[in-house]
Amino acid sequence: MKTALIFNIQKFCVHDGPGIRTTVFFKGCPLKCQWCHNPESQNFSKQVLWTRERCTFCQRCEQACPQGAISVTQSSVLHHASRCLACEQCIDDCVNNAREIAGVEYTVSQLLSEIEKDRPFYDQSQGGVTLSGGEVMSQIEFAAELAQACKNRGITVAIDTCGYAPFSSFEKIMDSVDLFLYDIKLIDSSLHQRYTGADNKLILGNLKKLAQHKARINLRLPLIEGFNADDRNIRDIIDFVQDFQLVAVNLLPYHEFGKTKYNKMDENYQGEKLFPPSETRLNEIKTMFEQAEFNVRIGG
């Protein structure tokens, strides 16, 4: 049976498309954006997370691990990821809930039953389900089946995507999708490569093709001062999308909500020197899009 690796199912979301939504987060992403606020979403495998504040350094996890993948000292718990088989034994044995797994396998029918629980909220608010990540298009066979099943049940589907996938993947799902929440960060390809780990030709090409197919698209711009909030990048983006019939443009100022997750993964947070644009600058950017006759909103 087909399964997908999911790292979160979030209920009552109001920033991931219209109305009240259930957002399903797929694990694994082909990009590695320096400002990522879901770092546990990037790896395509299950990962064990550790919360220092809950840990008493009791060594139970070290004793439980059949792989010798944990070393506990008086002040730290080292996780040797290359040895870990994600068996979750250490999680079961940690009485302080200091360890948790990121990534759970779901079948389509298991996800559908989660999604169905909130149907009254979708009906009242014209909401639905949003498939997000990570990158949902990286698990396209599963995502297309799930989206079709939602559509068959009268539940609307939004796809939150970075756009980095073959267009053939979009073709597999687009008939079941009511709205694409499409991220665009930078028009300059070499800067895109530097900050996300990949160039943007595929992303821009897919956006253009989706627009040509008359897909409904909300363009989403994560905005970081000093990275992509300058006049030149904003003008270039506007020039690129000028002829597209976008539903809306969402300006998403950078935030630090993902910072603690890096600690849980024992990874360095690269965002210490990242800041959102000022309110004045956000309003200037908003005005630039409005002057190009786009429907713009600050926030999701």
Whichever of 92 and 175 has its CB closer to ligand SF4, that residue is: 92
Among candidates 161, 159, 148, 154, which has minimal Cα distance to 108?
Answer: 148
Q: Which amino acid is at 64?
A: A
Q: Which is nearer to ligand SF4, 64 or 191 (CB)?
A: 64
Nearer to ligand SF4, 72 or 247 (CB): 72
Owner of token pair 């999680």: 91
Element (H, E) at 119: helix 119-125
Minimum Å gap between C-beta 76 and ligand SF4 is: 10
Least separation in angstroms between CB 6 and ligand SF4: 18
Min dist CB 49 to ligand SF4, Å, is 10
CA pair distance 171, 167, nearest whole angstrom: 6
Nearer to ligand SF4 (CB atom), residue 86 or residue 288: 86
Half-sphere exposure of 192 (CA within 13 A, CB side): 20
Task: Give yes or no for a contact between 238 and 230, defined as CB atoms under 8 angstroms apart.
Answer: no
Q: Considering beta carbons, is residue 53 or 272 the nearer one to ligand SF4?
A: 53
Can you tell me whether residue 111 is helix, strand or coil? helix
* Binding residues vs ligand SF4 (CB under 6 A): 48, 50, 55-61, 64-65, 67, 69-70, 72, 77, 84-90, 94, 96, 98-99
- Enter the tokens of residue 87: 């068996």
3-state SS, residue 238? helix
**Cα angle for residues 40, 161, 214 (degrees, 5° grid):** 170
CA 300 – CA 259 distance, rounded (Å): 20
User: How far is residue 171's CA from residue 184's CA, in Å, rounded to a whole number?
Assistant: 20
Q: Which CB sits closer to ligand SF4, 88 or 236?
A: 88
* CB of residue 272 to ligand SF4, shortest distance in Å: 26
Dist. CA 216–CA 181, nearest whole Å: 9
Task: Read off φ and ψ for residue 273, nearest 5 degrees.
Answer: -100, 20
Shortest gap between Cβ of 191 and ligand SF4 (angstroms)? 37
If the CB atoms of residues 71 and 270 are measured against ligand SF4, the closer one turns out to be 71
Take residue 275 and report the two structure tokens written for it.
Answer: 């800041």
> In this complex, which beta carbon is closest to ligand SF4, that of residue 50 or of residue 289?
50
Whole-angstrom Cα distance, residue 161 to residue 46?
21
CB of 67 to ligand SF4, least distance (A): 4
Q: Which of 147, 144, 158, 116 is nearest to 15 (CA)?
A: 158
